[in-house]
Amino acid sequence: MANSNVTKRKREPIGLVDAKVAVDLATAQSYSENVFLFVPNIIGYTRIILAGLSLHYMSYHPKYCTAAYVVSCLLDAVDGHAARALGQSSKFGAVLDMVTDRCTTSCLLCYLCIAYPTYAIFFQFLITLDFSSHYMHMYSSLVTGSRSHKLVTSDVSRILWLYYNDSRTLFLICTGNEMFFVALYLVKWWSTPLPFDFSTVPLVGGWLVGLTYAQAIAALSAPVCALKNVINLVQLWKASKILVGVDLAERARARQEKAQ
């Protein structure tokens, strides 16, 4: 039965290309089909430039910083649509997108470590979890023959399947996660309280009085950030199990070949 399940789930392996051949192909690619110049990849480069601008302004101009950071993050939802619409999906673009996401968020979290030194270890943990879970997930996808880290089946993980296969869910969770970190950044700059009288609101009225816009946004997006990091934990655990399973399968095959 186990062998039958393995056979059913066997996927078409990725065709292997020699590294030197790949370098030569990339060097000799024509202008008409230059992967570096694909529209979604150009959007990716724009995201990097905007992220760099946000870092430049982060310590002294919160409006410019926030505008550049938010636009960079929103473009993350555009490049995928462009790739599918133009038939320009690429492995380079997928990795560029993921690396940009990880680095951009990590740079903001590094700033939050300075802004909130008491919680520095918390932000360091989030950086570590984000990088490790995505790296292991990407690697486990490659060694099992998947053509994309987003191709997760529900029998492997229903949580990851819902997360990656519903574009609306993916967008809302990623947006809410980034919104929480941006709001924490703005808390240090934004002191204008909400123009509402919450004193009559039962139970939570006293807590809401004097809350700033940034604090309100942080409070609303905090549950989404928590959910995103639960998903990161699930992703890390599932990737670890997949890699261990691959190790066990390879060791069993090696023993079988040795016995023959």
Mean pLDDT of the chain: 88
Side chain identity, residue 66: T
Q: What CA–CA distance (Å, rounded) separates 218 from 40? A: 31
pLDDT of residue 175: 95
Check residue 16 and report its DSSP letter.
P
Question: For the chain, what is the radius of gyration of the CA atoms?
Answer: 22
Q: What CA–CA distance (Å, rounded) separates 146 from 138? A: 9
pLDDT of residue 100: 96
Helix or strand or coil: residue 212?
strand
Q: What is the pTM of this model?
A: 0.87
Residue 66's nearest CA partner among 215, 214, 182 is 182
54 near 65, Cβ under 8 Å? Answer: yes
Residue 173's nearest CA partner among 182, 187, 163, 181 is 163
The tens digit of pLDDT for each residue in 32-87 reads 789 999 999 999 999 999 999 999 999 999 999 999 999 999 999 898 889 989 99
User: Hey, which residues are catalytic here?
Assistant: 101
Share of the chain above pLDDT 90, in %: 64
pLDDT of residue 85: 93
